[in-house]
Structure 1
Amino acid sequence: MQFVEISKRYGENVIFDKFSLDIPPQSLLTVVGPSGEGKTTLLHLASALIELDAGLIIKERSEQGPVSYLFQEPRLLPKSNVFTNVELALHAHHESPAERAAIALHYLSLVDMQESLTLYPAQLSGGMRQRVAIARAFAHEANLMLLDEPFQSLDIKLRYNLIEAFGRLWNESPRTTLFVTHDPKEALLLGDAVLCLGDPKKPKLYQKIQIPRKARNIADPILLAYEAELVNALVSS
């Protein structure tokens, strides 16, 4: 996906001004930046929820079609159980009930929710609800995945458990992904590259992460150096 000299403003507030970015197909870009500096706007532009003022967004063939969008809130159907919340997302592309069931069970197993299929959202913890939402997002046949701070409201233990679950799912089913977060460690553990917004004209920082995702550790000196650079970009004016 390419953002080519895009411009977007809200009244006098300039979010992007001839801003360009190239995201390799089937890569995971984590996006950080101060509040109000364009993180969610970038997702909305990528999903065509809002229009550009100027510029182009070019999608590869593998990125076109349905979009999977995961929000801070799980947004599960309260009157449907865990299994049905995922299975319902498959009806548009799979006519066979048996096929839908197999796919739903597969993704729920990958997030360790296979023992909770008959429970309803009100019976689940916040972390469990978000696991179901992640399974549903991956089960949905989409070539572009957008995530807007999906782990923000969770405590640190749940957050890192979900980072692990998300990485496991993504490695099995990679697709072009933009993942917005406020957490530098989260960004570095998940992203193939990290983008820091804050300047309407260009990225404040764009850092590729060469360490394989499965081998990353928050105590790794290389990741700590990346984190220091990222935090510096976040706090610099």
Structure 2
Amino acid sequence: MLEICCYGDDDLNRAQRFGAQRIELCFARQEGGLTPSFGLMQLATRLNIPVMVMIRPRGGDFCYSSGDLFQMCEDIAQVKALHLSGVVIGALTTDGQIDVAAMGQLLEAAQRLEVCFHRAFDMTQDPIACYQQLAKLGVSRVLTSGQQSTAGAGVELIKQLVALDGPVVMAGGGVRAATIARLLEAGVREFHSSASVIKPSVMRFMNRQVFMGAAGQDEYQRYEIAEDEVVKMRAILDKATTESR
């Protein structure tokens, strides 16, 4: 299974066309992915592959206030109203454990939806115990880089998690065609990738003195899903599927 992370309508169209089998729909790439707008969710309903919607109200840590949780539950209601496939959520306590109370609230709101616990998992203090806790909560899938900067670097922990009974372990973080083989050997069967490349802006006039975000951030470049990367990854996974039969 190849899941591609999408941040806009162009991403959605390219990902499906090039071979994505599932979408994670996000907004705010620089923040690591936040809840997309209702309009973008509506655009995603046109796809004929499953769409998982990121439910994350802000950047930073994963310790949420009652207001944050209210916002997240309302966003989950929008996902349900649009009949999208599921949500991507995560909540932690201050000591790096699964926030069971917060997760209970979110899971109640997400009844009848597929649920993936996102890379907040990589910020936990005891990943094995937290994985087992997520299994008890009934989460469908866990996205992880094995608590390293990339899934390739975290392959040993990922391998341990795959061997346990519980949610599907999906490898994410620097996943590309060049790294999939090693993860397949570790038993991974679901892969998450942004598969993106930097493209220059189409703007002809550029005011380099003004920054809309952090100072020094280039306002005249954007990310785009790379066709060749998605095609290569999908080909590798299709071959692995055929060989395993």
| TM band (smaller chain) | 0.3 to 0.5
* TM-score (structure 2 length as normaliser): 0.38
Bigger relative CO (Cα 8 Å, ≥ 6 apart): 1
* TM-score (structure 1 length as normaliser): 0.39
